[in-house]
Structure 1
Amino acid sequence: MPYLTSAVLGAALLCFAFLGLKARRADGPLDDYITARNSQSASTLGLSFLASGMGAWILFAPPEIGAFVGPLALAGYAIGSALPLLVLARYGPAIRRHLPEGRSIGEFSEACYGAGVRRWVSLVSVLYMACFLTAELTAIGSITALLSDVPPSLVVIGVALTTLVYTAIGGLRASLATDRWQAWLLLALLALVGGVALTRLPAMPADVTMPSIPVGSALSVALTLVIAVTAANLFHQGYWQRVWAARDDRALAHGAWLGSGITVVVVAVVGGLGMLAAMSGLALGEPPIPFFALLAAAPEWLALPALVLAVSLVVSSVDSLQSGIASLVVASSGKRGLSITAARLATVVLMIPVVIVALQGHSVLRLFLIADLLCAAIIVPVLLGLWPRMSPLAAVAGGVAGMLGAILPGWIAQGSLGAGVLAASFPAGVPTLAPFLGALLASTLVSLLIAWWRPAPQSVVLHSSTPNSTTERS
């Protein structure tokens, strides 16, 4: 059985590599390598947004939320997963018009506020994506150990190397090409695995009730997830690459709406499987993993398609993150003449520490939450760059206020600055609403107040009447 599993996973990875390498442009310029500018249709973008955002996390987090917190919090998770795409559907066309040669969230920030803000935004984006990469590779190692006798390190290294080969050579076009197939594959496999697992569920007790917690607590969890997931995913450079990869504004808007709609359905369905596992009385494990508890009651053969599903989910997110990090590094260098070789090297170098950490099998949830909180503290000032009154002072002050706002609830509750900092670092590895809400409200309030008090000069580039201007603020 280990040999069959290894052969199937190897074949899947080779297929993804073939599709990615086939899509590459051997003679394309660096700009095409990292943006595939103005080339993608709405349907391709919709599937790509789905595949880029989905990862092995959907097999863990939504089922657990559904099983232990209930439908209200699950709805918050589903909405939070889709909201970044809706934000890009609404504001992406304006960003494309004002920054037609843009390549990253860092360049958008620089056009709005200058190089200093760009460096901070780029750092937060890289930190978040590195956490995402580490979590995905760690997850596939854990799933491999759970569902097969194949050495987890073999699959972790295999996924990392395979995606590196085709993203380093083919760039964003390779990621987009594989995304289309991976999106359909993950939908088909999820339907197969979930459908078969449900047929083997034990009969539910007559007095069964849906998992739930008090409404106030459920709303708190839902709001926390909406803020954390939305803010963090807006720093996903893979999403921003697709803003400029869209064929036109219409394709971007329709693609983002399509991707968000399917994302809501997928997260809700997988979370619903977790609820059903809990309601049927299955032993959910320790720590609880409701989705895989369903597989324990299913036929043994289902473990193989479930493992292929997990690998497809991880590959689809990892290749987008690899391409996104390379793009952000290149764009943040400020060197338009930087070679494709240097971009490829950046992709490889940045993966080395990620793989090393992933092979340790540690939980990265706490680091993920801290990165989410950093994103929540500065996302509103960044997006307000489209508002003509916003200035670098308002953006920087808003970002600083957001970080202080994250600490303030714990500081007030426990009476010391140290306690506030500790609470904002999530020592128990559990997301709590207060730091996220404090960060979001403080950054928004301070940004708006300073923008009204000291608005930006009217000569600001991003808001000028010349759409192709890329000069910094004066």
Structure 2
Amino acid sequence: YAALLVSGLAIGWFVRDKATFLSANGTQKAIPLSFNFIASAFGCGVLSTYAQVANLTGLQGLLVYAITGGLPLMLFSWFGPIIRKQCPHGFVLTEWVFQRFGTSTGLYLSACTLLTLFLFMVSEIASLQYVVSTLTGRSALPAIIVECVVTSLYTAVGGFKVSFLTDNIQITTVFALIVIMCGALGHYVEIDRSKIPESGLLEANLVGWQLIYILIVAIFTNDMFMSGFWLRTFASRSDKDLFIGCSIAAFVATCIAVLFGIPGLLAVWMGLVEVGDEGSSASLFIILNTLPNWVSGITLVLTVCISTCTLDSLQSAMISSISNDIFRNKINIMWCRLIVVLIMVPIVVVALKAGDDVLQIYFIADLLSAAVIPVVMLGLSSYFYFLTAWEVICAGLGGLLSVFIFGTIYYGNARDGGKLLLIWNGIYGGDWGCFAAFVVAPGGAFLFAGITLAIRLSVLKIHSIYTGTPFTALDYNPELVNLDYVEPETNSSDRPADAEDGKSKDSFI
């Protein structure tokens, strides 16, 4: 922690710049960008979550989880250029939403984004608590407090730029941890080959098939909420750099996820853990207890480094979102630094009290995004130019309401229907509840969006008939959805004569 604090403060001091405290648009090439995407995708929670999935769903579930965890990074290479063209001065998704749907939708999406970041920071602190207490047998509270102080200090000094640079430290640490783990497991671990077919972990299973849909919807939509990914998307120097960086990151992230999940299989084949064991998330640490102490020691140090770098990325993303979405970048930079410190208090409290199941925390955030994001992203298409804040907000709330209604009917009571919103039984509850929740959330969102649109258009049409005013609800507005539209320069003297209307992209450039 001391080394990370000193290096973080040093980096933050040398790169401190008000202009790049919240973002660093157009500064990063492909390779550094790929490292930053990979680092943002992994915290110390990977040491437990992937092993848990492997134990409960076998190799099939692990591969599905790994692939659906890596491929969504490609979304930013597809949607990023479109959003950067429509909103060139932004650095998070909500800025485009403000421009496309208005203030109310922007604040609504910002609240969802901040809640998602809050949950991910809770899960990171909870993961650190789990790792430290499991490996050392001691209370993790001192380590948590020190880590929060360290990251808050150097993030407050350097902002997003220092977070970007510490990502390189984080990914280097991840690679080092993988090398040490693979070497130690390959040298010291002995498995009982007769347990491989008996375990059934190499066979297909129902939950594994369910995960194909659940994780595609969950992770693909949830990544859209992650401001850290959008900050890195806008930081790319060009669309080509963004595509190359995302491609490398997607492939490497998938491979890393598989490697971190393998201990979940090995622990069963070593006879240390049973299939479906509630403590399967500790598979790696149970194996480490059978290895020399130096392996556990190095793993602990590297895990702390990974957690620290992940936490500073989440802090940076949250403060950028708060500054941009709530205060519209009009507050003094000192207030931003103060917010970084204050937000850690409730996060630590919640993580210590309710952070027992990290995987459940992830799925709560995923269900929220599955209800909110699909209709929002329709706004990128010119075919849906008629969508407004009414449809987007009602769709998200309607999607969550649909899950509650379904859960009430499916389980026969409202209490269990409410629990389904929190994925109370996990994804391994032995029923179709979780799977259906991720079907109903986006489906209900689209249904409520359609109903809201029909009501809005009907009311406006009736109003138009009775008042004699023009019906403009379906009029096309190129400023909102046309990719060829370019916002005119504020200084008209700098604009060419043929670009006065601001509609010719090529001539304007």
* 8 A contact 2:408–2:418 mirrored in 1: yes
**Counterpart among 353, 378, 386 of residue 384 in structure 1:** 378
CA RMSD of aligned residues (A): 2.7
- Which residue in the other structure is 2:304 paired with? 311
Deviation at 1:66, TM superposition (A): 1.1
Identity between Structure 1 and Structure 2 (%): 25
2:423 counterpart (417, 421, 426) = 426
Residue in structure 1 matching 2:210, options 212, 220, 229: 220
More contact order relative to length (CA 8 Å, sep ≥ 6): 1
Distance 1:15 1:379 in 2: 39
Q: Do structure 1's residue 466 and structure 2's residue 456 form an aligned pair?
A: no
Measured after TM superposition, the shift of residue 326 of structure 1 is 0.3
Cα distance between partner residues in 2 of 1:107 and 1:198: 48
Give, in whole Å, the separation in 1 of the partners of 2:72 and 2:250: 8
Equivalent residue number for residue 135 of structure 1: 123
Inter-CA distance 157–419: structure 2 relative to 1 (3 Å threshold): closer
Write the letter of the residue equivalent to 1:340: I
| 1:338 aligned onto 2:328 | no
**1:411-452 per-position Cα deviation (integer Å, ceiling 9, x unaligned):** 332345554333232233446211112112232455478779
Cα pair 1:20 1:175 within 8 Å, conserved: no
Which of residues 290, 309, 312 in structure 1 aligns to 2:283? 290
Does the CA contact (< 8 Å) of 1:46 and 1:256 recur in 2? Answer: yes
Separation of aligned partners in 2, 1:456 and 1:171 = 43
Shift of 1:173: 0.6
Per the alignment, in what secondary structure is the counterpart of residue 35 of structure 1?
coil
Distance, in Å, in 2 between the alignment partners of 1:118 and 1:469 is 23
8 Å CA contact 2:12, 2:159 repeated in 1: no
- The alpha-carbon deviation at position 401 of structure 1 amounts to 3.2
Is the alpha carbon distance of 1:61 and 1:19 closer, same or farther for their aligned partners in structure 2, counting shifts above 3 Å?
farther
Q: How does 1:24-103 map to 2 (within 5 A)?
A: 24-26=15-17, 28-29=18-19, 32-103=20-91
2:8 matched to which residue of 1? 17
- The C-alpha deviation readout for 1:322-363, integer Å capped at 9, x for no partner, is 001100101112534322112112211111211233344742
Work out the CA distance in 2 between the residues paired with 1:286 and 1:217: 16
- Give the secondary structure class of the aligned counterpart of 1:203: coil
Deviates more, 1:113-122 or 1:14-23: 14-23
Normalization by structure 1: what TM-score? 0.89
Structure 1: tracts of 5 or more residues without a match: 1-8
Does the CA contact (< 8 Å) of 1:197 and 1:297 recur in 2?
A: no
- Deviates further, 148-157 or 271-280: 148-157
Opposite residue 8 of structure 2, the aligned amino acid is A
SS for the counterpart of 2:479 is: coil
CA distance, structure 1, for counterparts of residue 364 and residue 213 of structure 2: 17
2:157 is equivalent to residue 169 of structure 1: yes
CA positional deviation for 1:84: 3.0
Q: Which amino acid aligns with 1:466?
A: Y
Matched, 1:371 2:389: no
Letter in 2 for 1:237: S
- Which residue number in structure 2 is paired with residue 3 of structure 1? none
Taking structure 1 as reference, are residues 305 and 17 closer, same or farther at Cα in structure 2, changes over 3 Å only? same
- CA 1:220–1:304: 2 relative to 1, 3 Å: same
Larger of the two Rg values belongs to structure: 2
Q: In structure 1, what residue type is equivalent to 2:152?
A: L
Name the TM-score, length of structure 2 as normaliser. 0.83
Give the direction of change, closer, same or farther, for the CA distance of 1:450–1:363 in structure 2 (3 Å limit): same
Cα gap change, 1:335 to 1:229, in 2 (>3 Å): closer
Q: 1:402 aligns with which of 381, 399, 402?
A: 399
Number of aligned residues: 459
What does residue 117 of structure 1 align with? 105
